[in-house]
Structure 1
């Protein structure tokens, strides 16, 4: 079983300092948001002015980029920065590669405080207390388990700071029956994972194979539709906390009961823009968004092209939140249903398939296509600089090893050399895992 409970050393002095920092930021966040849109805008302006002053004084990179921007200029006057530009100093700045992002302690405390305030605003504090005191405080994370993933870093921080929680992480690469068995044995009160994995677990519960009764579910890392959220909540009979974040800013927005995502606008500036970085009006889907993270100073991000496509809601949200509401048009990869040699069906998580290829071959722009009920094809991006033969050899071997662990030794893996990776025409984002054949969609 590829699940682990880390041996945590709880430092009471360090944890006490972090706790008081969290309390201070939670109090500030609560008071700001209770003051409504005017108080939120005032706090945002104050934080932005302080960040710009700090960055001008301490960042040679931004100081050079901002040399023609006068003091007191509005945020829109500052130049846009990109991942490749910022990653040049890390020698990892080619298009399509993941970035290296660092968060300071103050930023982490701010993210934690915002989450706590969100739980209170959604009246989920009772659910959390019930899970801690009534169900033993067991929490399970089902995710990609390598430490460089933002979800794992956040999870490890939570375990160190919360000695009252019993925590265990499970790998998305494990076969689903093995994962279900582990969760049944652990009986978590809280489960955090990706929307696609929560959907698979909801189906397992509906079929009677997964027998857990969590008090609260946490979703992140992928786009969660309102339909998926409703299905998961109905299956588990408990709320889902839907969080929108990124490695660049761990908590950008959170989901409300009405299905919208609300930007943490007191600490985050998120501007929907078109291809030329001009503002897109509410109700129109953007090409990308410009992120300014007001909470983090160790690696400042000011007007950073995040790459996500969002739509700002033109009307106030029915939930009553004063925070601006958006809809994220995230990449929607397909859950893959493969036919095993014995005629049974094995469901594969898209993120698990993508993780296998990324880690084995070092690729970050590719597509995995299900072309038949027992066939996968790998499509490489010709623009990505790599030794294609070596990349194909490593990726195909890793995929076959992963498929064998899922009892899918019969599934063939092929390479499509001549077809470029195509972006989703609706979102403009590259879909990494796609079902493209009718007989594959008919497998259940």
Structure 2
């Protein structure tokens, strides 16, 4: 079997044409091959799966794992024995290496995700190619033949809203694309979510993208700029991602831009997990991923009810196998066929809410800043394992951190304080107190961390 883009595109089209039995068959075969590979090449997986049947086609047979466990067993988890935590940390510590190939082979991405705990992930070419092929299919499906032609006539320009300054999967993937593909590099341009809103609006106005992809919180702010007449772009398709959106959020964006809006639900661990349909449901790409809504004891959650968490199995990435990985989100699986006609499993998500923080400026108006801007700044600070930023008053931020062993707390705090005060200054917000908390990050009753807490939810 080959994993070229052309083969993947044909296989994805064929699987959907043949229907769910063909997709389920691919899922079982790919799971069996991945588990066998993990057992053979990963010491951690070999020990974890000791005693299981020789051939595993049902993910429920596998033990559950999570980010904390995999980070603790990092060196034994990777199937490429040249990969070590020390090497990956050194690589991600150099911003000049963003998007370059780690060990000459892999893309490295960092994340905090729902849990607020730092993750360091290595993605192989197979995983990247599957993501690109599924993304292309989703794009053409959303636009249709006529929309695809219209996008081509308008130059086919893509604007990708990304968190810069770190090895985040969106920016790292974009940087690699620009470096390795001259054609795709001309069609896609990255726009930093860290720049002040007036500057972002001006750059987008000059670029005039046909497709806008990026963090939902930022796109929601851009919708307000479009309503105010300051943003003058009219993309054919908008794909918000990374944060949960309500039907009202989606409708507002669609009305503001006069565009088709299709949201993306994924993660650094599996970027191509799902895309939304016209009915607002996320459809899981089940030929390349398994998603299991479960209760706190990891028993299955019945369709029609929100789960305690959800377990992810990425069927593409072979270098770091994500098998029954606790993603930390609460999802609801639709119990009946989706009205859109797509037979793939349909779900709703209520994890990773993208609430905006609003700060006074002293001029009788407020400045809105999406939570991603705060989270990514702290996430890229070395030494921070778990963090939480809470807006405890209109002009007060309280920062809670759990630090790695052996780091200098004062040095880390100075770096975090400088990042946050710099962000606020760039956004035109003055006199905001950034406090260092003595207590650790707070957990929800369900045991999860919320990385950014706006004032209205404090």
SS of structure 2 residue aligned to 1:101: strand
Do the aligned partners of 1:331 and 1:430 also contact (CA within 8 Å) in 2?
no
Contact 1:313 1:326 in 2 (8 A): yes
Q: 1:293 to 1:424 in 2, by over 3 A?
A: same
Residue segments in structure 2 that go unaligned for 5+ positions in a row: 76-84, 90-109
Name the CA shift for 1:97/1:258 in 2 (closer, same or farther; >3 Å). Answer: same
Aligned length: 417
Aligned equivalent of 2:99: none
Match of 2:164 in 1: 145
Aligned equivalent of 1:342: 363
- Residue in structure 2 matching 1:255, options 276, 288, 292: 276
In the aligned structure 1, how far is the partner of 2:21 from the partner of 2:226? Answer: 45
Match of 2:455 among 424, 436, 444: 436
Per the alignment, in what secondary structure is the counterpart of residue 372 of structure 2?
Answer: helix
Task: Report the equivalent of 2:65.
Answer: 81
Of 200-209 and 235-244, deviating more is 235-244
Work out which of the residue numbers 126, 133, 140 in structure 2 matches 1:113.
133
Asked if structure 2 preserves the Cα contact closer than 8 Å seen for 1:332 and 1:431, the reply is no
Q: Which residue of 2 aligns with 1:14?
A: none
Q: Distance in 2 between matches of 1:220 and 1:330?
A: 12
Call closer, same or farther: CA 1:190–1:382 in 2, change over 3 Å.
Answer: closer
Distance apart, 1:351 and its partner CA: 0.7
TM-score of the superposed pair, with normalisation by structure 2: 0.83
Root mean square deviation, CA, Å: 2.7
Task: Judge conservation of contact 2:39–2:45 (CA < 8 Å) in 1.
Answer: yes
- Give, in whole Å, the separation in 1 of the partners of 2:332 and 2:444: 17
- Residue in 2 aligned with 1:7? none
Kept after mapping to 1: 8 A contact 2:312/2:325: yes
Distance apart, 1:275 and its partner CA: 1.9
1:353 aligned residue (374, 399, 410): 374
Q: Give the aligned partner of residue 48 of structure 2.
A: 65
Q: Which residue is 1:409 aligned to?
A: 430
In structure 2, do the counterparts of structure 1 residues 104 and 32 end up closer, same or farther at CA, with 3 Å as the change threshold? same
Question: Which residue number in structure 2 is paired with residue 301 of structure 1?
Answer: 322
| Structure 2 Cα separation of the partners of residues 364 and 336 of structure 1 | 23
Deviates more, 1:141-150 or 1:252-261: 141-150
Shift of 1:158: 4.4
1:33 alignment partner, one of 6, 13, 16: 16
Q: Write the deviation string for residues 107-134 of structure 1: whole angstroms up to 9, x where unpaired.
A: 2221222222223444535323322x32
Structure 1, unaligned runs of 5 or more: 1-17
User: Could you state the TM-score of these two structures normalised by the residue count of structure 1?
Assistant: 0.86
Given the alignment of the two structures, is residue 397 of structure 1 paired with residue 380 of structure 2, yes or no?
A: no
Deviation at 1:231, TM superposition (A): 0.9
2:26 pairs with one of 43, 46, 55: 43
